[in-house]
Structure 1
Amino acid sequence: MSLFLEFHLIQNFAPSNLNRDDTGAPKDAIFGGQRRARVSSQCLKRSIRLTAAEHDLLPQENRGIRTKKLKTLLLEKLSDRDPQEAAGKIEVALAAAGLKLKDDGKTEYLLFLGESEVAAFAALIQQHWDALVVSADKKSKKDSKAALPSDIVRQAKTLLDGGKAVDVALFGRMLADLPAVNQYAACQVAHAISTHRVEREFDYFTAVDDRADPDEPSTAHIQHTEFNSATLYRYAVLDVNKLRSNLQDDQELALSAVAAFTEALVRAIPTGKQNSFAAHNAPEFIGVSLRHATPLSLANAFEKPVAPRADKALTQQSVERLAAYDDKLGAVYADANDQWLFLDLTEHWPDGKGERARSLPELVQKVRALIDSKLGE
């Protein structure tokens, strides 16, 4: 049975520049023929990962790390060994697994590995220290790999199994040299867009020299920065069965992953220019829908942009639009067993449309219990 856990958030940000383009301006997009504020999917996913780590929502061994510095990480774990000797053996062991290092010791591209995968590589090197022979004349890694016993090569390749790292299971990975260990993401995150039309604004500012002489201008620097303020619609969907599969069918870990993702998604706020704007604005509405037939983004509720009104906030209008569009879409595409959970600070989500939570911890608990009941069917 298909289980798609969807997250629909309405979140109003004060003036800010959370996610910049190459010119330093807030990212945007044309949607429904109108310019909208935008926060990219990549930015949001990184914020979710960092938030989960910051709030310690998952054990260290079930987290991932994205880096080119795998060799450095392994040297840290082999700190009881001679660094120069360890460096050579690390290169041989990684070559056995099919991972290449450049002359600067970094991998050719960013790797997304589970913490337990890194630890397993360190353990492999410790276990087969004497067998990992580095030739004195610095032959190529291929030659060093060819000299290894076949069982070590086999073992090295089996270490890249995802390591039950939740963020790797959620967001997937691609290793160009090792397609067999690629992992398809269990989660999709949309670019957040404003529910209304936006215009860029400019902040002109100066920096003053505190020690300027009386006869010289105190302004030592003049600059401007762009910003906007927007009510965003954020959408993400999680394939629960795929998540459990990516986590090697560990159902308890999958449930913990769902709970951690729910909390991290809600709490995640990009860090762009926060020292200048401090836009720490929590979502006004969090809707969680469990769908069986197909995922259904509700972004088209805002194809016609919400218009400002004196008597009703943009967040309130956005929540009303969201509910009405879900009813319209659900009548055609939804399954009779679909369910809603929600936390609504606007008080404009319809009564009876799903089960209400009064706090984030309560919502997280309800989401976990819902998925637990469905996985047990």
Structure 2
Amino acid sequence: MTKPNVYVDVNVLQTVPSSNINRDDTGAPKTALYGGVSRSRVSSQSWKHVVRAAFKADNIDVGTRTKEAANLLFKALQQLDSSLDDDAAKAKVAEIFKTAGIKLDKNNETGALLLISRGQINKLAQYALDNEELDKKELKKVLKGDQSLDLALFGRMVADNPELNVDASAQVAHAISTHEVVPEYDYFTALDDEQGEDQTGAAMLGTIDFNSATLYRYANINMRELVANLNTKDAIHGATDFIKEFALSMPTGKQNTFANKTLPSYVMVTVRTDTPVNLVSAFENPVMSDHGYMTPSIERLEKEYKATLSLVDQPLLTVVLSKNDAQVGDQMANLTELLEKVSATLSEVVQDENTND
């Protein structure tokens, strides 16, 4: 009998001071209407981008999202076979992309950004050198295998050939403030240093929009999908890598202006076998306070967590890292302990896609 699927929920509460970490088309911080009031919002795409950057900084395998995949393959071919001249390499590249069903334009670029791992590029090059005649099914295997962690987590869409799509194993919600946010702006001026102290007027002036907020952030991982994209060992390791980088990363918009880098005040990770659960309903009625939002936000979140237990199964694991005493789950001393606890639990319950009890 096949074991049930396993889902990992990651809930984060984080206070961000005056900042503009994710801007809309007018340059103002993004917002959302929730519970009848305006909230600060940070898009899921923005947070996934910085998670990918954090993976790269920590030497975790990441792919590249580019229109220049053909050029990368061209370089890989010549690195593997230095005797291959430019024309022969270009011909092989064109044949590979045509057989795979991916269109190239006159500039030898894909029509849309393509997320591809370095392993896939190298395997494609080796396959092309080893086989005079290309097989579409074999190319599909190459382009679906050797996935980098970001590709396995966030997936890939290939409009030219949906067979090459990769289903995402992680979902990341837009972060929103637990309370109402009123937009603010900073009026600034700058003087010309070469004009001396007696200059009148300003050489430059402008405004910057900003806000401050206590954000609720949520993401989940479908472990069955992550195992299918990677393998059991790498999936478990990748899940804890994602939890760490999701918790510690922050979008960098206007960071030099506001120096707004903070750390979470509360992290709760839950391992479930029935369904992922976003606890944002805790804040549908916005938190109201004149002495800080974090403590009442934690209380709301833990109350919502308890309320969900009447609707879903008891989680296999709930661990919390908090500046306050946790009222749910097991409180961890630090992030390392939390990640080790999650890893140990996943090692017990996660299995290979094709393995039965």
TM-score (structure 2 length as normaliser): 0.91
Report the alpha carbon displacement of residue 72 of structure 1 after superposing the two structures with TM.
Answer: 2.3
1:15 aligns with 2:14: no
Report the alpha carbon displacement of residue 105 of structure 1 after superposing the two structures with TM.
Answer: 1.9
Report the alpha carbon displacement of residue 348 of structure 1 after superposing the two structures with TM.
Answer: 4.3
Report the alpha carbon displacement of residue 50 of structure 1 after superposing the two structures with TM.
Answer: 1.1
| 1:358 match | 333
1:339 aligns with 2:322: no
| 2:243 match | 262
Provide, for residues 9-40 of structure 1, a one-character-per-residue CA deviation record: whole Å limited to 9, x for no partner. Answer: 00000111010001010000010001000001
Give SS of 1:219's match.
Answer: coil
Report the alpha carbon displacement of residue 85 of structure 1 after superposing the two structures with TM.
Answer: 4.1
Provide, for residues 192-215 of structure 1, a one-character-per-residue CA deviation record: whole Å limited to 9, x for no partner. Answer: 000011011101112322212677
Aligned mate of 2:168, from 166, 185, 193: 185
Question: 1:309 and 1:216, CA in 2 relative to 1: closer, same or farther beyond 3 A?
Answer: closer
Partner amino acid, structure 1, of 2:45: Q
Aligned mate of 2:39, from 20, 36, 39: 36
Q: Which aligned pairs between 1:157-306 and structure 2 lie closer than 5 A?
A: 157-212=140-195, 217=200, 219-247=202-230, 250-306=231-287
| 1:53 match | 56
Provide, for residues 233-274 of structure 1, a one-character-per-residue CA deviation record: whole Å limited to 9, x for no partner. Answer: 001111111211122xx2111111111111111111001111
Report the alpha carbon displacement of residue 84 of structure 1 after superposing the two structures with TM.
Answer: 4.6
Question: 1:95 and 1:323, CA in 2 relative to 1: closer, same or farther beyond 3 A?
Answer: same
Partner amino acid, structure 2, of 1:314: Y
| 2:354 match | none
Report the alpha carbon displacement of residue 86 of structure 1 after superposing the two structures with TM.
Answer: 2.3
Give SS of 1:124's match.
Answer: helix
Structure 1's unaligned 5+ residue stretches are 132-148
Report the alpha carbon displacement of residue 275 of structure 1 after superposing the two structures with TM.
Answer: 1.4
Report the alpha carbon displacement of residue 225 of structure 1 after superposing the two structures with TM.
Answer: 0.8
1:94 aligns with 2:73: no
Q: Distance in 1 between matches of 2:274 and 2:92?
A: 51
Question: 1:306 and 1:161, CA in 2 relative to 1: closer, same or farther beyond 3 A?
Answer: same
Q: Distance in 1 between matches of 2:274 and 2:138?
A: 40
1:329 aligns with 2:308: yes
Give SS of 2:128's match.
Answer: helix
Percent identity between matched residues is 35
Give SS of 1:159's match.
Answer: helix
Shift >6 Å, 4+ stretches: none
Report the alpha carbon displacement of residue 4 of structure 1 after superposing the two structures with TM.
Answer: 1.3
Aligned mate of 1:126, from 126, 129, 141: 129
Q: Is the 8 A contact 1:316 1:348 kept in 2?
A: no
Q: Is the 8 A contact 2:274 2:312 kept in 1?
A: yes
| 1:66 match | 65
Report the alpha carbon displacement of residue 164 of structure 1 after superposing the two structures with TM.
Answer: 2.8
Aligned mate of 1:316, from 295, 312, 327: 295
Q: Is the 8 A contact 2:317 2:345 kept in 1?
A: no
Partner amino acid, structure 1, of 2:186: D
Partner amino acid, structure 2, of 1:76: K
Report the alpha carbon displacement of residue 188 of structure 1 after superposing the two structures with TM.
Answer: 0.9
1:349 aligns with 2:330: no
Q: Distance in 1 between matches of 2:321 and 2:137?
A: 50
Question: 1:96 and 1:323, CA in 2 relative to 1: closer, same or farther beyond 3 A?
Answer: same
CA RMSD of aligned residues (A): 1.9
Q: Distance in 2 between matches of 1:210 and 1:87?
A: 54
Q: Is the 8 A contact 2:270 2:315 kept in 1?
A: no
Question: 1:291 and 1:23, CA in 2 relative to 1: closer, same or farther beyond 3 A?
Answer: same
Structure 2's unaligned 5+ residue stretches are 352-356
Q: Distance in 1 between matches of 2:152 and 2:108?
A: 27
Question: 1:219 and 1:76, CA in 2 relative to 1: closer, same or farther beyond 3 A?
Answer: farther
